[in-house]
Amino acid sequence: MSSEPPPLLALDLTGTFAFGLNGALTAVRAARLDMVGVIVLGMMTALGGGVLRDVLLDSLPPATLRDWRYYTLAAAGGLIAFALSKHLHRLETPITILDAVGLSAFAVIGAGKALDAGLAPAPAILLGVLTAVGGGTLRDTLVRRIPSVLSSGLYAVPALVGAALTVLAVRAGVYGLPAALGAAVTCFLIRMLGLRFRLNAPAPPETSGRREPPHEGT
Amino acid sequence: MSSEPPPLLALDLTGTFAFGLNGALTAVRAARLDMVGVIVLGMMTALGGGVLRDVLLDSLPPATLRDWRYYTLAAAGGLIAFALSKHLHRLETPITILDAVGLSAFAVIGAGKALDAGLAPAPAILLGVLTAVGGGTLRDTLVRRIPSVLSSGLYAVPALVGAALTVLAVRAGVYGLPAALGAAVTCFLIRMLGLRFRLNAPAPPETSGRREPPHEGT
Amino acid sequence: MSSEPPPLLALDLTGTFAFGLNGALTAVRAARLDMVGVIVLGMMTALGGGVLRDVLLDSLPPATLRDWRYYTLAAAGGLIAFALSKHLHRLETPITILDAVGLSAFAVIGAGKALDAGLAPAPAILLGVLTAVGGGTLRDTLVRRIPSVLSSGLYAVPALVGAALTVLAVRAGVYGLPAALGAAVTCFLIRMLGLRFRLNAPAPPETSGRREPPHEGT
C-alpha cells in the first residue's frame, strides 16, 4: 500500500484512472485494436510510468502491481473506454482535465520518491518527468506514433516544472502536503494553459515555422 | 539454473527455442535485416518476456541470462532461422505449434514465479501474460509492426487463461505438475483453436466489421 | 561515482557526451521535434545503454543517474546539438569518431561490469553489446526508425568484438587497463573500417543483393 498522504494519493489514483481511460481512448483512435489491445494499452499508459520509476529506484515489485487500487483503476479506465468508445468524444474536456491531474500527481510523487531513494536533485527531476510521461510514451511507441513527449513540448515541460518545484521544496526543508499540492497545481495550470493556447517549446532553428499544432490530450 | 520440474522446464526450453526461431523468421519477413539483426531479434523474442518478468520481480540478473540453456537455445533458434530462412516456410505448421508451446509454458511459469515473489492473483496473472507476450512485443516494436498482442486478440487471451488457471490452482492448494501442465495445455488448445478458426477478441463498437484477419504465428 | 580507471572513465564520459550530441542530432534530422524532444532523445541515447545494463545487473539506481558527470554531459550534448543543429553537419566527421569512441568504451565497460556481477562469458558479452547499442536503439524506436543495430551490421559487430575481447582477457587473467584499452581500440577500428568501406554483416540468402547502404553515424 502507498504511504502518500491521502490528498496526494487521491490525485495519484485519479490520475491512474484518467491515464487508463485516456490511454485506451487514444488507442482506439490511433489503431484498430480489439478489446484486449485497448485494455492492454490503457493499463500500460496508466501503470507504465510508475513501473519504470520503481524499476530504476529498485523498489520492486512495482507499487502499481503491489497496491490493488492502481491496477484495478487502470483496468477499469481501459474497460470503460472500450465500452463507451463511441460516446467518449463528448467527454473530451473532462478527460483532458483528469489527464492533466494525473500528469501533475505522477511528476510530484515520482520526484519525491526519487529523492527518498537517495538520488540527487537533477536525476530526481528526471525521474519525476519519466514517471509522468513514461506510460504515454510506451503507448505511443506500441501504436507507432511519435511520442507526445517528443513532439508536443508542453507535455514534458509542466511535468518538469512540477518535479523541479518538488525537489526545491524538499531541499528548502519546506516539503509537505501544501508544497506538494502547490507543485502539482502549478504543473496542472501550465499544462492547461499550454493546451488552451497551443503553446510549444522552441523548435530547432532550421525547422522554425514548420511545426505542426500540438496534439490535444495525452 | 532453473528449479522448475523437468517436464515444465522442457516445455520452457522448447518454447525458448521456438520463440528464437519464429522471432527471427518474422524478422526476416518483416524487414530486410542482416545476420546480426536477425539473430538479435530472435534472441530478443525468446528471452525478452522472461527478462521483463525477472526485472519486475527483482530476480536479477534474469534467469534467462544466468542459465546457459536459455540463451544458447535462443541463439540457436535465431541462427537456424537465418541459415534456413529460404526453406522455413515449409515448416510453418510445426513452428507455429512449437510457438504455442512456448506461449503456454511462459504464461504458466511466469504466473507461478510472480506468486512465489508475493504478488496478489491479479498482478500475477498480468506477469504471466507479460512473460508470454513480452518478447514478441519487443520484436514487433523494433521492426515497426503493431504488436500481435494488440492487434490479434487470441494471442493474449490464451496466455491470460493459462496464467489465470495457474493462479487458481495455487490458490486452491492443488498446484503441482499436473495442474501446471493442465493450465499449459488449455492455453495451447485455445491458441491453436484461435489460429484454426481465425478467432478474435471483440472489437470496439465503432470499428466492427473493419477488422483485418489475425496474423498467423507469433 | 564510477570506479573505472581514469583513462577508461575518460573514454566513457567522452562517449556519453558524443552519444548525447549524435543522438540529438539524429533526432533533429529524423523527426521534427522541439527543444524538449531533442534533449530527451539526446539524453536517452547517451544514458539508455548504461541504464539497461544496470537494471539487468541489479545495480540500481543506475550509475548514469548516480554520477552527476554522466547525466550532465548527456544533457550538454543534447543542448549543444539543439543550439547548433544548423551547423553541426560540418562537424560530422569528428562526431562520428567520438561516437565510435563511445561505442567502444560502452562495450568494454559493460562486459566488464557484467563479469563483475557474476555473469558467465556469453551473457557478459551480450550485456556489453546491449550497453553499447541500447541507447541508440531506444532513440531509433521512439522516432520510428528501424534501429541501426538491426539494419546496419557493423554497428553491433564491433561492439561484440570489443566485449568478447574484454571477456577473453578477464578469463585469461590478463585483464587490466592495457587489455581494456586494447579491446576498445579494436572495437573502434572495426567500426571506423566498417564506416569507411560500408561493410555489412551477411544478409539472409533470399534477400541478397537488396541491401540498402548502411547509415552513417549512430
Q: Given pLDDT bands bounded at 50, 70 and 90, which one contains residue A160?
A: very high
Contact state of B204 with A58 under an 8 Å Cβ cutoff: no
Q: Which residue of A has its CA nearest to C86?
A: A206
Q: Report yes or no: C109 and C8 within 8 Å, Cβ to Cβ.
A: yes
Residues of chain C with C-beta less than 8 angstroms from the C-beta of A146 = 31, 33, 142-144
Does the ipTM exceed 0.90? no
**Closest Cβ opposite residue B31 in set C146, C152, C156:** C146
Residue A83: how many other CB atoms lie within 10 Å: 15
Torsion of CA C121, C125, C130, C136, to 10 degrees: 170
Q: What average pLDDT score do residues A57-84 get? A: 92
Torsion of CA C157, B64, C136, C44, to 10 degrees: -150
Count of A-C CB contacts under 8 Å: 97
Nearest Cα of chain B lies from the Cα of A197 at a distance, in angstroms, of 31
Q: Could you list the pLDDT tens digit for every one of the 218 residues in chain C?
A: 456 778 888 888 998 999 999 888 887 777 777 888 888 889 999 999 999 999 999 998 999 999 999 999 999 999 998 888 777 777 778 888 888 999 999 999 999 999 999 999 999 999 999 999 999 899 888 888 888 777 765 888 999 999 999 999 998 887 788 888 999 999 999 999 988 877 766 776 654 434 444 443 43
Contact state of C58 with A58 under an 8 Å Cβ cutoff: yes
Parse chain B into domains and list their residue ranges.
Answer: 6-200
Q: What is the pLDDT of residues A179-195, one digit of tens each?
A: 889 999 999 999 999 88
| Weakest-pLDDT range from A44-58, A61-75, B85-99 | B85-99
Q: Which residue of C has its CA nearest to B28?
A: C204
Contact state of C58 with B58 under an 8 Å Cβ cutoff: yes
Among C198, C217, C156, which Cα is nearest to C25's? C217
Place of cell 547517451: C46
Residues of chain A with C-beta less than 8 angstroms from the C-beta of B141 = 141-142
Collect all residues from C whose CB is shorter than 8 A from any CB in B: 55-58, 117-120, 122-123, 126-127, 137, 141, 144, 146-147, 149-153, 156-157, 160, 200-207, 210-212
At residue A206, does pLDDT exceed 80?
Answer: no
At residue A161, does pLDDT exceed 50?
Answer: yes
Collect all residues from A whose CB is shorter than 8 A from any CB in C: 55-58, 117-120, 122-123, 126-127, 137, 141, 144, 146-147, 149-153, 156-157, 160, 200-207, 210-212
Chains meeting B at 3+ CB pairs closer than 8 A?
A, C
Residues sharing a CB contact under 8 Å with residue A104, sequence separation 6 or more, in sequence order: A11, A15, A132, A158, A159, A162, A183, A184, A185, A187, A188, A191
Contact state of B203 with A41 under an 8 Å Cβ cutoff: no
Q: Which residue of C has its CA nearest to B50?
A: C56
Full 3-state SS string of chain B: CCCCCHHHHHHHHHHHHHHHHHHHHHHHHHCCCCHHHHHHHHHHHHHHHHHHHHHHCCCCCCHHHHCHHHHHHHHHHHHHHHHCCCCHHHHHHHHHHHHHHHHHHHHHHHHHHHHHCCCCHHHHHHHHHHHHHHHHHHHHHHCCCCCHHHHCHHHHHHHHHHHHHHHHHHHCCCCCHHHHHHHHHHHHHHHHHHHHHCCCCCCCHHHCCCCCCCCCCC
Contact state of C150 with B40 under an 8 Å Cβ cutoff: yes
B173 exposure class (CB count in 10 Å sphere: 0-12, 13-18, 19+): exposed
Q: Could you list the pLDDT tens digit for every one of the 218 residues in chain B?
A: 456 778 888 888 998 999 999 888 887 777 777 888 888 889 999 999 999 999 999 998 999 999 999 999 999 999 998 888 777 777 778 888 888 899 999 999 999 999 999 999 999 999 999 999 999 899 888 888 888 777 765 888 999 999 999 999 998 887 788 888 999 999 999 999 988 877 766 776 654 434 444 443 43
Residues of chain C with C-beta less than 8 angstroms from the C-beta of A117 = 61
Q: Given pLDDT bands bounded at 50, 70 and 90, which one contains residue A210?
A: very low
Choose between A19 and B31: higher pLDDT: A19
* CA-to-CA dists, residue A21 to A18, A130, C18, angstroms: 5, 20, 40
**Closest Cβ opposite residue B35 in set C119, C126, C202:** C202
